[in-house]
Amino acid sequence: MAEVEPSVLSNGSDNSRARWKHLDNFLTRPGAFTDSEFQAGLGIERLETIKILVIGAGGLGCEILKNLALSGFKNIDVIDMDTIDVSNLNRQFLFRASDVGKYKAEVAAAFVEQRVKGVKITPYCGKIQDKDDDYYMRFNIVVCGLDSVEARRWINATLVGLVDPEIMDSLKPLVDGGTEGRLPAQSEEVIDFEADGPTGFKGQAKVILPTITSCIECQLDMHAPRAAVPLCTLATIPRQPQHCIEWAHIIAWEEERKDITLDTDDPEHITWLYQKAFARAQEFNIPGVTYSMTQGVVKNIIPAIASTNAIVAGACCNEAFKIATGTNPFLGNPESNNYMMYSGDDSIYTYTFEHQKKDDCPVCGNLAKEVEVDGNRTLQEFVESLAERPEAQLKKPTIRTEEKSLYYQSPPSLEKQTRPNLKKKLHELVSDGEEIAVSDPAFQIDFKFKLVFKK
Amino acid sequence: MGDVTPPPLQGPTAKEKKYDRQLRLWAASGQAALEDAHILLINSGPGVVGVEALKNLVLPGIGQFTILDSSVVAEEDLGVNFFLDESCLGGFRAEHCCNFLKELNPDVQGNFVTEPLQSFITKPNALQPFTLILVTSPVVPEILATISVYAQQHAIPAFYTHSVGFYSHFSLLLPPAFPIVETHPDPETTTNLQLLTPWPALSKLAEEKTHGLDSMIDDDHGHVPYVLLLLYYLGRWKASHNGLVPQSYSEKTAFRDLVRSGERTKTAEGGEENFDEAAKAVLKTLNPSAPGSSVKEVFAAEECQNLTKDSANFWVIAHAVSTFHQTHSVLPLPGAVPDMKARSKDYIELQNVYKSKAREDVAEVLATVRSLEKELGRSIPIDEKEVEAFCKGAGYIKLVRGRPFHIARPNEMVKWGDRARFAAGALENPDSLILLYIAFLAYDSFVASHLIDALGGAQKVPGLDAAEPDTQKMIGIAEAIIDSLLNEASRFIKDPEYSEIKHASARFVEEIVRAGGSELHNIAALTGGMVAQEVIKVITKQYVPVDNTCLFDGIASKTSVLRL
């Protein structure tokens, strides 16, 4: 067994590695599962030079920053646009009551830098969409701790787009963690509410090698939107307390307080909605409307606890560490497991498997995705269905075929010009099996679909 | 109604705001239980996993914690433990971790003890203040045995944890009987509508609302709640099947076709949502509501059958519910009705029929409880709410039988008892991590026989200096454990399977020795998360805890839960 004295490899004195004695046992000793090319001590150098990007400084992000700093990473950037809220304090352990209102990325970066000597953490308080390809090109690994599927899809498409087969460094492994259950539906015509079982003890961690293994877009059906309640139920036949709350949220507010922008963090606004919902529930004899439920429905609150974040973030950073150092095989090698699901509400259960890359993935595949449609439905109905279809989830689609523009969301002149198509039936606009390209302002890429008519 | 003013609004309290995201999981009752808890962490080794677990418990607001650890902070601690920094060097690790942890939540009280474990544990009532004990390896076998016995005798939950390199483990020792009422099953899969045994009020409502179904105008026809549609078609089915309900799979699909045949397809939507819901619910809801195996286990338990004056409330209620089941052949009705296509008024009416029946069932169980209390001469009556909660979750109650820790001693093989056959079988299951568990037993056995000083204080972990000689020793210990297990289970595994098992075992062992007793922060954090989830489940008596051993393999990123 090849053992190397750590002090020989580090640039400084013996003492400079004393702090990393535990880590160095793995960086300097091969194990039973390490690759035959494992070079003792190489990991120390790599950890010094690798640039790693953390997206999200919330529940998962706080854990991820701490874990990476104590895994020996030295150059970390973190992006988050949010500020600290009092309801974050039960799990986001880098924040204190006195930090409420400050930017998460800034407070988190400063805290970890102060606690773990020698790590440099650069915060950016803003949106991931603010940054361009040159920015993302600078990193070697990206770790995501997000609660929004849209942001995940955006960074995923960006990283897939960066890959240039000529440039080795253009392939950035993406490690993604999540603790949410099913995600909110995105159509404006349908309203969802939390009717799920417990989600707070569940999570997932996965590794993506852009263009090589299954990407976030390939996995989109794993995040199917929740069952939706039609607007007409809210308007005419409410049955559940949540229906009354959504009625207050969507209909009553629009009718009575149109000029005030709803701020779900404003207690006065929530109180108003609660009282409206309560009165409506009484009218229909529906029990169960509470302030807490009102808040939960309106803000689409997902239960969240520190321990679940610790599990998911630990799994993600373990993979990032293995990728960076080669100290053991990592998830996401082609043709091996790349996805771990964790469930802790009934004993502990993990399912670790290989999620298959899809040839018709609109982001990383090269074939158009087949979509079955009813040729007698209108383009308008098809446009609406794109928001709900688990494999699409596109809110503001612009649609064209190879030859013609079917519908443009913008500019206004083109929107006006293509608007009459919305009333036409699909079979009048496209032929059976024809490919269409769909773009959406939330994404930089085109989605290719092949429309197959229902027989 | 209409103009009734809502009650004056008490907005959420500061505490409700801070804990909002967790109260949605375990409610005020779970929170109160957490706040009554006092957790002892007996810390050892690099000491990260225990502190990470505490972090995840301080944040949601446990009442108190105490860290027992006599080590002094060294430079190497700063590279792996987040709750220490340079200012702590040379100080007591317990004290500094305690202070940094307390910063996370001003509502939590933190304490530390720097006295060596060996002397602390021998003091009378040393463990008395604590409601839960976390022990991290390495620990002297005799002390682990003392804690195991104490925990069982006093019905105090205890955890024993390893976090070594890419691997981790914890065993959970629960009291001999640990019942859970609020298991939080998935509401979608646990709806119990008792459609095969409708009571008069439900049958009457079905008759009323489906009267003249075929001649209803479309709008009415499309709004009959599916529960009532199913009852209507069950009536029709029974009339042509000697009064029997559909039972076999083929009968159920035929029944589903019958339901489908009533759907009007020439509507604007090309079908009817309520009929669609009804057809989809056939296979799921038309099952005799026989209690599941875990409920039967509770009814059959010695504690349920033979009540005493001092029986826990759970057993008294369980006995009463079992009596209810004997009388009616069904469990008390939970009373919840899923959302379905319906007019508000009809749905609420249906919901009320279910709620009243659920209340009647609770009343009957409560009456039995009261007469049992009288018979047994119990002085404090059981709270009605407890009976109500039990009835609501009766179909999913769960009983865990706690088991003692395995204590690995040098030159003495672990006894597997009634789990020997299971454990030996697991050796041949590639998805099981039993070999990792055996590698940890070998680790403990090695540590126990390699004391650095003769006083029985510091222990030497395998791989601390040079890995190679320790690997060979450890492989030998693990093989001896495997052979002893096979022997105890009277099981013989022939080659090549036997050699494959030994080879796989050696790889786990080699990886453990590589660590030289070191923790990787990621694995410690992840394991601290798993342990904290389990601690929360155990303290709140909500959700279902691990029974009783969990292993994590950070190379394959997977877990395995074994009952050992």
Residue B109's DSSP bridge partners are B64
The Cα B457–Cα B139 span in angstroms is: 10
Q: Which two three-digit tokens encode residue A220?
A: 């989109």
For CA atoms A328, A331, A337, A343, give the dihedral sign. Answer: positive
Predicted confidence band of residue B136 (pLDDT cuts 50, 70, 90): very high
Q: Which active-site residues of A does the annotation give?
A: 232
CA-CA-CA-CA dihedral for B136, B142, B147, B153, to nearest 10: 150
Q: Which two three-digit tokens encode residue A278?
A: 């309560």
DSSP state of B461: P
In a domain, B306, yes or no: no
Q: In one letter, which amino acid is A125?
A: C
Q: How many CB atoms lie within 10 A of CB B396?
A: 23
Question: Residue B525 and residue A67: Cβ atoms within 8 Å?
Answer: yes
Q: Which two three-digit tokens encode residue A185?
A: 């539906």
pLDDT tens per residue across span B241-251: 999 999 999 99
The per-residue DSSP string of B303-316 comes to HHHS--TT--HHHH
Residue A448's DSSP bridge partners are A437
Q: Which of B238, B271, B287 is the last residue of a domain?
A: B287
In a domain, B441, yes or no: yes
In chain A, the percentage of residues whose pLDDT exceeds 70 is 92
Q: Quick one: pLDDT at residue A199?
A: 75
In a domain, B172, yes or no: no
In a domain, B235, yes or no: yes
Q: Give the ipTM.
A: 0.94
H helix or E strand, kind and range, residue B146: helix B141-154
B489 touches chain A (CB under 8 A): no
Question: Residue B11 and residue A305: Cβ atoms within 8 Å?
Answer: no
* Mean pLDDT of the region A50-61: 97
Predicted confidence band of residue A284 (pLDDT cuts 50, 70, 90): very high
**What phi and psi, each to the nearest 5 degrees, are found at residue B163?**
-140, 100
The structural domains of chain A, ordered by start, are 6-224+304-353 (3.40.50.720), 229-298 (1.10.10.520), 369-437+448-453 (3.10.290.20)
Q: Which of B240, B260, B287 is the last residue of a domain?
A: B287
pLDDT tens per residue across span A130-165: 999 999 999 999 999 998 888 999 999 999 999 998
Owning domain of residue B430: 417-516
Domains in chain B: how many in total?
2
**What phi and psi, each to the nearest 5 degrees, are found at residue B260?**
-60, -35
Question: Residue A307 and residue B558: Cβ atoms within 8 Å?
Answer: no
pLDDT tens per residue across span B424-479: 999 999 899 999 999 999 999 999 988 765 555 567 899 988 767 899 999 999 99
Question: Residue A32 and residue B550: Cβ atoms within 8 Å?
Answer: no
In a domain, B186, yes or no: no
* Mean pLDDT of the region B123-138: 96
Q: Taking CB atoms and an 8 Å cutoff, what residues of chain A touch B19?
A: 90
B520 touches chain A (CB under 8 A): yes
Single out the residue of A250, A189, A186 nearest to residue A224, CA to CA.
Answer: A186
Interface of B with A in 156-195 (CB under 8 A): 165-166, 183-188
Predicted confidence band of residue A2 (pLDDT cuts 50, 70, 90): very low
For CA atoms A362, A365, A367, A369, give the dihedral sign. Answer: negative
Best A305, A325, A330, A338 residue to mutate vs chain B (most B CBs within 10 Å): A305
Question: Residue B529 and residue A283: Cβ atoms within 8 Å?
Answer: no
Q: Which of B251, B272, B287 is the last residue of a domain?
A: B287
pLDDT tens per residue across span A301-356: 888 899 999 999 999 999 999 999 999 999 998 889 999 999 999 999 999 999 99
* Contact between residue A227 and residue A192 where contact means Cβ atoms under 8 Å apart: yes
More confident residue, A364 or B508: B508
Single out the residue of A182, A112, A97, A105 nearest to residue A147, CA to CA.
Answer: A182
Q: Quick one: pLDDT at residue A181?
A: 56
Residue A189 pLDDT > 70, yes or no? no
pLDDT tens per residue across span B400-432: 999 999 999 888 899 999 999 999 999 999 899
In a domain, B543, yes or no: no
In a domain, B464, yes or no: yes
Q: Taking CB atoms and an 8 Å cutoff, what residues of chain B touch A295?
A: 12, 20
pLDDT tens per residue across span A22-45: 999 999 999 999 988 888 888 888
Q: Quick one: pLDDT at residue B268?
A: 78
Predicted confidence band of residue A229 (pLDDT cuts 50, 70, 90): confident
